[in-house]
Structure 1
């Protein structure tokens, strides 16, 4: 399973890692965050990033996600791209990170493709021109949780203990 290291302007890396912990009900193993402060010494942060990669890297490598291409965190992350079995992606967003966590058991190149797809598919226009999501007969969005809530509300489904 690939390790994941997020390197971003403070406090974004830690915030994204905390979001993953929130979504999964706890932080999955081998996910690190490195916040780059405005006055950080880049050489020290590069050393810390190398140390984190060694700690997080698994049998199929590690994925480094950084926020903005060309900025200091991205330049630090780029130094890790030369480490064997490490891939670096810029433009991290929460859908990219969640997709990366979901697919980190894949081969590293497949993981990169899945993370990139998550990033781009996660960017959507929401507004009056956006077609509404598909719904079930009861008007709920077609997700397991929504379907269960719909069935419980309609009386078709009795939750355990009810």
Structure 2
């Protein structure tokens, strides 16, 4: 099982917790932890809390860290935790990414392959629709 650590700006993480609970019928899976970072928080404190959570989530196959915005405080803290083969990180958290990660992490065993699969879900979940489909009525 791969652990999932979601590090986001403040309440965004809570919205993703609600999403996970929606898909998993009210319970946040045991392999998921969410860290919402407040604007007032000290960078070292964030890293310390995130490291403790990552350690709790390591079931032997690694931990995937998901962050919201590349280059922002949650991402910068998470980058300090990345260790080849042990922890990996994806930025740009979106709902398809979260659902795919939460759904497949319990059975996943290869962190690198899992990270690629979750990234593909995030990208494939972005679809541009620039016109109304034929036969669709307003």
TM-score by length of structure 2 reads: 0.88
SS of the equivalent of 1:116 reads helix
Tell me, which stretches of 5 or more residues in structure 2 are unaligned? none
C-alpha RMSD over aligned residues? 1.7
Q: What residue number does 2:23 align with?
A: 23
Deviations 1:53-86 (A, max 9, x none): 0111112111000010001110001011037511
Question: What is the alpha-carbon distance in structure 2 between the residues aligned to residue 131 and residue 60 of structure 1?
Answer: 47
Is residue 115 of structure 1 aligned with residue 118 of structure 2?
A: yes
The answer for the alignment partner of 2:94 in structure 1 is 93
SS across alignment from 1:34: strand
Tell me the residue number matched to 2:45: 44
Count of residue pairs the alignment pairs up:
132
What is residue 81 of structure 2 aligned with on the other side? 80
8 Å contact from structure 1 (residues 103, 114) kept in 2: no
Q: Which residue of 2 aligns with 1:124?
A: 127
Moved more, 4-13 or 15-24: 15-24
Q: Which runs of 5+ in 1 are unaligned?
A: 133-162
Alignment correspondent of 1:33: 34
The 1-side partners of 2:41 and 2:130 are apart by 40
Whether contact under 8 Å (1:69, 1:91) holds in the other structure is yes
In the TM superposition, structure 1's runs of 4+ consecutive aligned residues that sit over 6 Å from their partners are none
**Greater mean alpha carbon deviation, residues 98-107 or residues 34-43:** 98-107
1:27-77 deviation per Cα after TM superposition (whole angstroms, max 9, x unaligned):
111100000111111110100000000111112111000010001110001
User: Counterpart of 1:82 in 2: which secondary structure?
Assistant: coil
Give TM-score scaled by structure 1 length. Answer: 0.76
In structure 2, the partner of 1:2 is 2
Cα displacement (A) at 1:128: 3.1
